Chains A and B, each alone.
Chain A
Amino acid sequence: MKQTATTKTSYHIPVGPIHPALKEPVFFEFEIEGERIVDVDVKLGHVHRGIEWASRKRNPIQILYLAERICGICSFCHPAAFTLAVETAADIQAPERAEYLRVIQGEIERITSHVLWAGVAAHEIGFDTVLFLTWQMREKLMDLTEYLCGNRVTKGIMTIGGIRRDITEDMIPKITDTLNYLKDNFEKLRKIFLDDKTIRMRSQGVGILTKENALKLCAVGPTTRASGVKKDVRVDTSYFAYGDLDIDFITPDVLTNEVNGDVYDRIIQRLLEVKQSIGLIEQCLDTMPSGDIVVEPKIPKLLNQLKKVNGEGVGRHEAPRGEVIHYVKFDGENESPYTWKVRAPTYNNILPWIPMLKGEQIADIPIIAASTDPCMSCTNRVAIADGSKKYEMQKEELHRLSIEKTRRLMK
């Protein structure tokens, strides 16, 4: 980036590494002209923990729990993608019932994540009452997760060649109760998000990602689908039980008949996906076959089998934020994998931020950055360096700017 010239009107605003709207550190440097963002530069790696390297000393069963700790909200999809990769490499086929149970767990996680995101997005534009409504909904889902898996966040449900806990007949009423509760509240949430003037004003026409850019920059998940690209691992490929289920692509034009690729479309996209996920869980509960839930219950035997594997595999799963892909290679000598490469969805959704943010205002940064539901970062400090003077802008300050913009628009 160029040095700020004294004669030029543009200046630079660094945002981060602890940054607006998000839950993990990332560093942005904006070039600003007046209120407009002219250029953006992104720096990453503030929380790079060398997880792939840590796997070199662990066996596949231990890595499951390491993968679970890559992200707290995606604590099912990383072990799921890892399991898929290992199963492909070792040619293990999970029992049919386990495949359906995995779908149920995956979809519960998707709803939890999308509902959480809806709350955060509302908070970013200063609509905190919606935040409390969505988090109340989420609490029910967390209770359900705890009931099905044994813990609220780290589910510990995935295992190689199956799943660790079954859903028995007597557990189904609690699931259907929660789903019914969600359906009722989903209607409320849909009305608030789609009919409310405040949300429309702040999100329509803001942070546009065109279809062409989404394809070129390899965006994934709801971010790319909101721009009209039909890409969803659940529909495109057959893994777990998704190949058996009745599922179709969802893009915002299902509801509005047009695709704009703005923040509003990304809100619609996620709300529609919540509804789709509820449908998928119901389908699974209806059509789930009976049988074993794990193909090899003796873990030492499984580990011996994996130790002899010489090969590689790729596992892909549609996480709430998009496609997560794990690559695993075994060399046939060591217990731990030779290579393990993790790619989380946000990795691909970083570059699309740049066209989204260009030309927007500072007050729009929080909602645009949050609209891809990035798995990193939390607001804290923005320093504005203006010549020799230095101001520090706290998280509250940026948040206040965003709220003030909402107020201005409402007048």
Chain B
Amino acid sequence: MTKDQELTPEKVVKYFIDEFKPKIKDIKIKERAAGSKKNKTPSIWMKIDNSAFKGAVKHLCDLQFPHLAIISGNDLGKTIELIYHFTLNYGNRLGEINLNISVELPKSKPKIETICDYIPGALITEREKQEFLGVKIIGIPDDRRLFLPDDIPKGIYPWRRDETGPEKLYKNLHEVKK
């Protein structure tokens, strides 16, 4: 972790662009100041094409082993967006860089490759995405359900906003008469 003392958000972005130029879109570097001294925390947002995603994670691991905080997901109508929230360069005072890599998957074929072989800690969050968003993770070491109970029917994904969403299972307890 010491060799990259000088890692800056610009360097990280350049590192990715050099390798995956046409497959990366919407690169933004945002900075947010806080406190009296207005020290800034940088965060990078980028969109990567699904075909280059696994390579990008490997590329990232070559730069520095990242901490994967969580994968969050959005149902955007026609596509499902997964956002991988990484943090880099931790262990240095005010030196941390947030890296948010988003991947859009078409709903007709929501498949993405696992990153568990590079980052074993991703297993829990990948299992969660699989059951909550109906994304198929290819090559996941353990594909059982994690949070959902066994009696929830297959093909219902609680975070979807379409017909596979959880609407059918609602029980409006507040409608019970007072």
A residues with a Cβ closer than 8 A to B are 43-45, 48, 50, 52-53, 88, 93, 96, 99, 215-220, 229-231, 233, 235-244, 248-249, 289, 314, 316, 323, 325, 327, 329, 338-339, 341, 343, 347-348, 350-351
Known interface pairs A50-B158, A350-B124. Does A239 touch B34 (Cβ–Cβ under 8 Å)? yes
Tell me, in angstroms, the Cα distance from A118 to B36 when the chains sit together.
Answer: 34
What are 7 A-B residue pairs whose CB atoms fall within 8 Å in the complex? A45-B147, A48-B148, A218-B69, A236-B93, A237-B41, A237-B96, A238-B33
Tell me, in angstroms, the Cα distance from A81 to B5 when the chains sit together.
Answer: 27
Interface size on B, residues (CB 8 A): 46
Contacts of B15 in A (CB 8 A): none
Contacts of A53 in B (CB 8 A): 158-159, 166
Asked whether A242 lies within 8 Å of B35 as measured between CB atoms, the reply is yes
Contacts of B24 in A (CB 8 A): none
Tell me, in angstroms, the Cα distance from A243 to B35 when the chains sit together.
Answer: 6
Is B22 interfacial (CB-CB < 8 Å)? no
Contacts of A217 in B (CB 8 A): 120-121
Contacts of B110 in A (CB 8 A): none
Contacts of A43 in B (CB 8 A): 146
Asked whether B121 lies within 8 Å of A244 as measured between CB atoms, the reply is no
Partner of A44, one of B43, B119, B146: B146
16 A-B pairs besides A52-B159, A216-B120, A217-B120 with CB distance below 8 A are A48-B147, A218-B122, A230-B1, A235-B94, A236-B90, A236-B91, A236-B92, A238-B41, A241-B35, A243-B34, A244-B35, A248-B93, A314-B43, A314-B98, A316-B69, A350-B124
Asked whether B94 lies within 8 Å of A237 as measured between CB atoms, the reply is yes
Tell me, in angstroms, the Cα distance from A238 to B94 when the chains sit together.
Answer: 6
Asked whether A230 lies within 8 Å of B34 as measured between CB atoms, the reply is no
Query: Chain B: interface secondary structure?
Result: mixed
Give 1 or 0 for each of B119-159: 1 = CB within 8 Å of chain A CB: 11111110000000000000000000111110000000011
Asked whether A45 lies within 8 Å of B148 as measured between CB atoms, the reply is yes
Contacts of B166 in A (CB 8 A): 53
The segment from B6-14, B50-58, B70-78 found at the interface with A is B70-78
Asked whether B147 lies within 8 Å of A240 as measured between CB atoms, the reply is no
Q: Nearest Cβ distance between residue A281 and chain B, in whole angstroms?
A: 16
Asked whether A323 lies within 8 Å of B69 as measured between CB atoms, the reply is yes
Contacts of A50 in B (CB 8 A): 158
Determine which residue in A243, A325, A343 has the highest number of CB atoms from chain B within 10 A of its CB, and name it: A243
Contacts of B101 in A (CB 8 A): none
Tell me, in angstroms, the Cα distance from A220 to B69 when the chains sit together.
Answer: 9
Contacts of B96 in A (CB 8 A): 233, 236-237
- Chain B contacts with A in 79-94, Cβ cutoff 8 A: 83, 85, 87, 90-94
Contacts of B145 in A (CB 8 A): 45
Tell me, in angstroms, the Cα distance from A121 to B151 when the chains sit together.
Answer: 36
Asked whether A347 lies within 8 Å of B149 as measured between CB atoms, the reply is no
Tell me, in angstroms, the Cα distance from A99 to B35 when the chains sit together.
Answer: 6
Contacts of A314 in B (CB 8 A): 43, 85, 98, 100
Contacts of B83 in A (CB 8 A): 327
Contacts of A233 in B (CB 8 A): 96
- CB nearest to B95 among chain A residues: A236
Q: Nearest Cβ distance between residue A229 and chain B, in whole angstroms?
A: 7
Contacts of B69 in A (CB 8 A): 218, 316, 323, 325, 343, 348
Tell me, in angstroms, the Cα distance from A220 to B67 when the chains sit together.
Answer: 9
Contacts of A244 in B (CB 8 A): 35-37, 39
Asked whether A238 lies within 8 Å of B40 as measured between CB atoms, the reply is yes
Contacts of B39 in A (CB 8 A): 238, 243-244
Partner of A343, one of B32, B37, B70: B70
Tell me, in angstroms, the Cα distance from A99 to B93 when the chains sit together.
Answer: 19
Asked whether B40 lies within 8 Å of A351 as measured between CB atoms, the reply is no
Contacts of A241 in B (CB 8 A): 34-36
Is B46 interfacial (CB-CB < 8 Å)? no
